[in-house]
Amino acid sequence: MADPGARHGDLGRAVVVTASDRAAAGVYGDRSGPVLVNALRELGFAVDDAVVVPDGEPVEAALRAAVAEGAALVVTSGGTGLGPRDRTPEATRAVLEREVPGIAEALRADGVARGVPAAMLSRGLAGVAGRTLVVNVAGSTGAARDAAALLGPVLVHAVRQLRGADHG
């Protein structure tokens, strides 16, 4: 693994939150969270293993904890669809101070362009809470890989902006 500081400097800490009733209950292991963790580490963020929580209110609690702890970035995986327990966007909206709609729009458009028409059903959000960028990603490993590939450079730029860096 490359030295994270060699590529992007100290980007700070990122947190990955996987929203899944079944993974939280141990029915199966979290598969998308580790994909995001590894991608964020490669970008230069300090990232612990994914936090796995049930859908719904525990997602909001995990987001609030990450923001309170000063995370530069929080990426969620799962809970963005139309299922009755898919409540990640609602939990996220309760935490956000400002939305950044272009990120979520880009994720949906990229998914459709990659031949996944169901990507347009994602209700994921992105925005800012304090100085923390929060991004919702769909819960599949493919969605996690694609999001990391699409958003990597943008996440670095956004985190730097939130710290007051110039737009250059």
Beta bridge pairs of residue 135? 75, 126
Phi and psi based region of residue 115 (left: phi greater than 0; alpha: psi -120 to 50; beta: remaining): left
C-alpha–C-alpha distance, residues 122 and 108, integer Å: 7
Confidence (pLDDT) at 165: 84
Low-confidence ranges of the chain (pLDDT < 50): 1-7
Confidence (pLDDT) at 4: 39
Confidence (pLDDT) at 166: 73
Instruction: Indicate the residue type of 51.
Output: V
Instruction: Indicate the residue type of 60.
Output: E
Confidence (pLDDT) at 3: 38
3-class secondary structure, 133: strand
pTM of the model as a whole:
0.93
Confidence (pLDDT) at 1: 33
3-class secondary structure, 60: helix
What one-character-per-residue DSSP string does 80-96 give? -SSSTT--HHHHHHHH-
What are the structure tokens assigned to 150, written together?
Answer: 């699409």
